[in-house]
Amino acid sequence: MGATVAAKNKAIRQEALREQLQAKGLHTQVLVIADKLENGYMDLEASQINALKASADLKMKMINKYMPDLKNTEITGEGGGDLGIAIKVLYE
């Protein structure tokens, strides 16, 4: 039972952090930086480009820490149990 409570608390904290990151708009800020680098790189000094890259990297690390890639998502069955496979015979 303790593991279930801990998992629920972790999910609650993770959801709160996701909401906080969304409120800060970090994902939008990263897109804006990418646009600046893509469209305005000819007008930027090397130090400005490096600063923008560092800023985007830090923001992406924050995003990835609290919103992991979907490839890491586990799929479980009902109630967190194992998935079941049902085979239906159509022809006899």
Q: What percent of the chain has pLDDT over 70?
A: 85
pTM for the structure as a whole: 0.53
Q: What is the C-alpha to C-alpha distance for residues 45 and 21, in angstroms, rounded to an integer? A: 30
pLDDT score at 90: 76
pLDDT score at 68: 64
- Kindly report, residue by residue over 2-34, the tens digit of the pLDDT: 668 888 888 888 888 888 878 888 888 888 999
Q: What is the C-alpha to C-alpha distance for residues 77 and 86, in angstroms, rounded to an integer? A: 13
